[in-house]
Amino acid sequence: MTAVHEDVILTEDFEVIARTVYRETEGVQLELIGGRLGVKRVPDGDHNRILNWLLMLLLPLNPGLFLHIAGQGLVVGPYRKGRARPDGVLAPPDAFVGCGEWGLSDAVVMTVEVTSHDSDSYQRDLVDKPTAYAQAGIPVYLLIDRDQAEVVVYSEPDGDRYQDVHRYAFGRNVTLPKQVGISFDSTPLQEWVD
């Protein structure tokens, strides 16, 4: 079940609500994107398996980068008033040391999202987050869309949106932009779509 609060919420109010919900409620995560409060379920096993698979793919890439998959929150969006909790964040290993729950996106090379099986996944992962990540200047956004069985690679942010978007059906070879600099076979993703 996903709930979205339609009124604009102040960033400071959101952070108080998010801390309380995170401590007291199991099974949900909160985000604030474009002034809208979003509540999403904690990921399922296939979702987590995809993230672990990506971690293993990216680990040998560069010792200066690491795929953080433990729910690191990011400050994103216009004027950095948004708060997103990407499924994965490719950044230097120490990028978030000492930053608390919401780290700056300055050192982030790529964000990763894996669609969830909830009613707001399309809006959140294919509309709101690409906009917020582009506005934050994050070079690459990698979306694993389990509903459409495709990998979507967003790059070249111009401050408002990503100018370059490539879609790859599961089973095809995926090439990530030079900031990440890796190609991979997406065939294993076919096993984890349900």
Segment 10-19, tens digit of pLDDT: 777 766 666 5
Tokens of 158: 């111009």
Q: Give the model's pLDDT for residue 31.
A: 55
Average pLDDT of the chain to the nearest whole number: 83
Segment 89-144, tens digit of pLDDT: 999 999 999 988 899 999 999 999 998 877 677 778 888 899 999 999 999 999 99
Q: Give the model's pLDDT for residue 128.
A: 87
Strand partners, 28: 41
Report the CATH superfamily, name and number, of domain 43-192. Answer: tt1808, chain A (3.90.1570.10)
Tokens of 114: 């894996």
Cβ within 8 Å of residue 128, ≥6 positions away: 33, 34, 36, 38
Query: How many other β-carbons are positioned within 10 Å of the β-carbon of residue 79?
Result: 7
Core vs surface per residue 142-175: b (16+ CB within 10 A) or e: bbbbbebebbbbbbebeeeebeeeeebebeeebe
Q: Where are the domains of the chain?
A: 43-192
